[in-house]
Amino acid sequence: MTKKCYKCKKDLPFELFNLNKGRKDGYQSCCRDCQRETAKKYYKKNRKKCIDVIRINKRQRSLKNYIKIVTEHLNVPCSVCKKVYHPTAMVFDHVLVNEKLRIKKTEGVNVLIREGYGWAKIREEISKCDVKCHNCHFLKTSKEFKYWKEISSLVDDYSSLIQKLYEKQRNIYPPDPIALEKSKKEISKKFSEYMNERVDDLTRKKREENNEAKKR
């Protein structure tokens, strides 16, 4: 079975025409090649107008998807600390199947929303995630990727002491900010010196190992 293209006047198989339920035979009047050529010519002649339409439609799609995200997915407590925050303080955190799995930035839910992807793609990505607050997400990521593994235990100890210091201050009436700052500086100075010593010691050992390896 063939159909005559309105543009090129060729008799072509139906599979070379796009579907159009509004037409009697269910197909476009022009073949795909002619439609592509017409679209190219229109775009070339009306480039700015086409770009503006695409930009406006993309922004509308992004905003509508963000509304859906806010009202259906980011209105829950953080999966770690169980606190509810403003939607901008919440993130979709990919649940890693194993240690080797790494999620590309281009695959993040927020990126998909900003780039105007369809809801089906966004929903698929959400299914791979937990919802966390930014703070818990960064702590988890930092530990997973071992950004500061050489001194991470010391940073944990330091952070714990500082948190306890502020908690103690909240129970004091009237507050004593001068005493708080004094104690914080003492703790910070001690840990800073200790952590710097650790880094210098580790660096020295690495250099020695590197030099030994070169001699072999």
Mean pLDDT by 10 residues, the chain (216 residues): 91 93 91 93 89 91 93 94 94 70 62 90 91 92 84 92 91 87 94 94 91 80
Q: What is the DSSP letter of 101?
A: -
Asked if 122 and 202 sit in the same domain, the reply is no
**d(C-alpha 16, C-alpha 140), whole Å:** 52
Would you tell me the crossing angle of helices 152-170 and 177-215 to the nearest 10 degrees?
180
CA dist 90 and 78 (Å) reads: 8
Single-letter amino acid code for the residue at 4? K
Q: Which of 143, 166, 194 marks a domain boundary?
A: 143
At 42, list the tokens. Answer: 């229109």
| CA 87, 84, 89, 69 torsion-angle sign | negative
Q: Are residues 113 and 132 in the same domain?
A: yes
Tell whether 72 and 110 lie within a shared domain: yes
Are residues 111 and 97 part of one domain? yes
Residues 10, 66, single domain; the answer is no
Handedness of CA 25, 26, 31, 36 (dihedral sign): positive
Tell me the residue range of the domain where 88 lies.
49-143
Note whether 163 and 211 are same-domain residues. yes
Domain tally, the chain: 3
The pLDDT, as a whole number, for residue 193 is 95
Tell me the per-residue pLDDT of 197-213, one tens digit each, with 9 for 90 and over: 999 999 999 999 888 88
Render 20-88 in DSSP notation, one character per residue: -TTSTTSEEEEEHHHHHHHHHHHHHHTHHHHHHHHHHHHHHHHHHHHHHHHHHTSSS--TTT-----GG
Report which of 115, 144, 108 is spatially closest to residue 129, judged by C-alpha positions: 108
pLDDT for 94: 85
Boundary residue ending a domain (83, 114, 143): 143
Answer yes or no: do 11 and 57 share one domain: no
Do 66 and 9 share a structural domain? no
Task: Provide the β-strand partners of residue 93.
Answer: 130
- Same domain for 179 and 195, yes or no, is yes
Residues 53 and 139 in one domain: yes
- What pLDDT shows up at residue 108? 84
How many residues are given for the chain? 216
Q: Name 129's bridge partners.
A: 94
Do 135 and 173 belong to one domain?
no
Q: What one-letter code names the amino acid at 106?
A: T
The DSSP symbol for 197 reads H
Task: Give the Å distances, CA to CA, from 121 to 43, 94, 137.
Answer: 27, 15, 23
For the chain, what is the total number of helices (H) and then of strands (E)?
Answer: 7, 6
Chosen domain end from 118, 143, 168: 143
Helix axes 47-72, 119-126, angle to 10 degrees: 40
The pTM of the full predicted model, rounded to 2 decimals, is 0.60
Q: Is 143 helix (H, G, I), strand (E, B) or coil?
A: helix
Same domain, 138 and 157: no
What would the pLDDT profile of 8-48 be if each residue is shown by its tens digit? 999 999 999 999 988 889 999 999 999 999 999 988 898 89
